[in-house]
Amino acid sequence: MAVDIEQLKASVTGEVDARRQQLKELSLKIHSNPELGFNEVKASDWLTHYLEENGFTVERGICELPTAFRASYGQGKPVIAIMAEYDALPGLGHACGHNLISTCAVGAGVASKPAVDRSGGSILVIGTPAEELYGGKAIMAKRKAFDNLDAAMMMHPAVYDSATTQALACQALEVEFFGKPAHAAGEPEVGINALEAMIQSFNAINSLRQHIKDKARIHGIITDGGEAANIVPAHSAGSFLVRAEDDAYLEELKQKVIGCFTGAATATGARLEYKWADICYAAMRNNLILAQLFIQNMESLGRKIKLSEPGEGFGSTDMGNVSQLVPSIHAMVAIAPKGVAPHSPQFAAAAASDAGIRGLTDAAKALAMTVVDLISNPEVVTKIQDEFRK
Ligand SMILES: [Zn+2]
Ligand SMILES: [Zn+2]
């Protein structure tokens, strides 16, 4: 008997409606208990318990990361994963709305059960810690957490609805200059000024900025600029992020940025030390067939949604690393009006608002309906993978 896709979709959206109150409470509980990357003990505990209570088999602490998890329901192919993020930001709490991401993932996973029961295949909810600061998914990708997936999806709260995300490749850089202290007035000629080396580096980077490709970004802060105004600074330090539209240009740009620091070291006589972060956030590869399915499903809920537009949100996300391995989407779902900036107190408030909960439940429904599309149609999975291999 042919699978009635529309009937299955009605049943998975009904599952989300039936759990609306539970999902809201879970989301608000995580929101009011913000935990930083790799310390998301309560959130991962609450999420995994909810999944277990709803029939999922849970493995905790996968990839040697105590707050990571993998929850699965069903067996065999296709294997469709929904990603959960649940880390907060220092000082700002859930100002990126990851409480909504994780609860949406759990809601979509549980709601997808009728599709798996009807058509087979597996639905996974993968708990991926530390998106903001440490690229948890990049680490998990290296440790093979995403091998054997047929598709991976997630939602991220935003101020617009979009089925795709433009996210840049990004790598962090720590820089130090070592100079020589001296009395800044009495004997300035014997000092080597490590702060000047840092300032020259910023100026060189600002000059470089005129001659880099569109969408590339270089930005940083000074974390040590000396001890006192009357001591020639013997040490300076800074943290930087270098971003580019693709991994190849990121490598090229990284060399140019290092040139700015070595030039400043030569000019001042200060000694340079630097270290690139072990983890690089990869650029996002959006699977357009998957994105179109998500658009149709969001539209069936009465939401206006499209593909991302130039200039819309140029952050970086570790979902990029997943998207290099598996056909993926990282959909943006509006929870606040345009003008509310992510990583602000206003966005944190939106992540606990009624509009936030509506974004969560709509996205959970659309993700679960997309699971129906994938699990009920093996040809669709093949098409998605063909696009990915191109
Ligand atoms: Zn964020
Ligand atoms: Zn985020």
Whole-number Å distance, alpha carbon 109 to ligand 2 midpoint, is 20
Which residues make up the environment of ion ligand 1, defined by Cβ < 5 Å? 96
Whole-number Å distance, alpha carbon 32 to ligand 1 midpoint, is 17
Whole-number Å distance, alpha carbon 119 to ligand 2 midpoint, is 33
Query: Do residues 115 and 36 lie in contact, with contact meaning Cβ atoms separated by under 8 Å?
Result: no
Whole-number Å distance, alpha carbon 170 to ligand 1 midpoint, is 14
Whole-number Å distance, alpha carbon 164 to ligand 2 midpoint, is 14
Whole-number Å distance, alpha carbon 366 to ligand 2 midpoint, is 19
Mean pLDDT score, 212-241: 96
DSSP assignments along 66-116, one per residue: TT-EEEEEEESSSEEEEEE----BTTTBSTT-HHHHHHHHHHHHHHTHHHH
* pLDDT tens-digit readout, 83-139: 999 999 999 999 999 999 999 999 999 999 999 999 999 999 999 999 998 999 999
Whole-number Å distance, alpha carbon 156 to ligand 2 midpoint, is 7
Query: Do residues 36 and 88 lie in contact, with contact meaning Cβ atoms separated by under 8 Å?
Result: yes
Using DSSP's 3-state secondary structure scheme, residue 39 falls into: coil
| Percent of the chain residues topping a pLDDT of 90 | 94
Whole-number Å distance, alpha carbon 215 to ligand 2 midpoint, is 19
Asked whether the predicted pLDDT for residue 328 surpasses 90, the reply is: yes
Ligand at minimal distance from the CA of 92 is 1
For residue 313, name the pLDDT band (cuts at 50, 70, 90): low
Asked whether the predicted pLDDT for residue 72 surpasses 60, the reply is: yes
Whole-number Å distance, alpha carbon 343 to ligand 1 midpoint, is 6
- Residue 308 has a pLDDT of 81
* pLDDT tens-digit readout, 245-272: 998 999 999 999 999 999 999 999 999 9
Whole-number Å distance, alpha carbon 354 to ligand 1 midpoint, is 20
Whole-number Å distance, alpha carbon 7 to ligand 2 midpoint, is 33
Whole-number Å distance, alpha carbon 208 to ligand 2 midpoint, is 29
Question: What is the C-alpha to C-alpha distance for residues 346 and 350, in angstroms, rounded to an integer?
Answer: 6
Whole-number Å distance, alpha carbon 156 to ligand 1 midpoint, is 9
| Percent of the chain residues topping a pLDDT of 70 | 98
Which two three-digit tokens encode residue 195? Answer: 């702060």
* pLDDT tens-digit readout, 344-369: 999 999 999 999 999 999 999 999 99
CB count within 10 Å of CB 239 equals: 14
DSSP assignments along 148-193, one per residue: T-SEEEEEEEESS-BS-----EEEEEEEEEE-B--BTTTSGGG-B-
Whole-number Å distance, alpha carbon 193 to ligand 1 midpoint, is 36
Ligand at minimal distance from the CA of 154 is 2
Asked whether the predicted pLDDT for residue 11 surpasses 80, the reply is: yes
CA nearest to 101, candidates 129, 63, 78: 129
Per the listing, tokens 């709803």 go with: 54
Ligand at minimal distance from the CA of 99 is 2
Whole-number Å distance, alpha carbon 132 to ligand 2 midpoint, is 6
Whole-number Å distance, alpha carbon 169 to ligand 1 midpoint, is 15
38-64 CB burial, b ≥16 within 10 A, e <16: bbbeebbebbbebbeebebebeeebbe
Whole-number Å distance, alpha carbon 101 to ligand 2 midpoint, is 8
Question: What is the C-alpha to C-alpha distance for residues 131 and 36, in angstroms, rounded to an integer?
Answer: 10
Question: What is the C-alpha to C-alpha distance for residues 155 and 165, in angstroms, rounded to an integer?
Answer: 10
Q: Name the pTM for this structure.
A: 0.90
Whole-number Å distance, alpha carbon 94 to ligand 1 midpoint, is 9
CA nearest to 142, candidates 161, 128, 123: 128
Question: What is the C-alpha to C-alpha distance for residues 260 and 208, in angstroms, rounded to an integer?
Answer: 8
Question: What is the C-alpha to C-alpha distance for residues 39 and 19, in angstroms, rounded to an integer?
Answer: 27
Whole-number Å distance, alpha carbon 145 to ligand 1 midpoint, is 22
Number of H helices, E strands in the chain: 14, 10
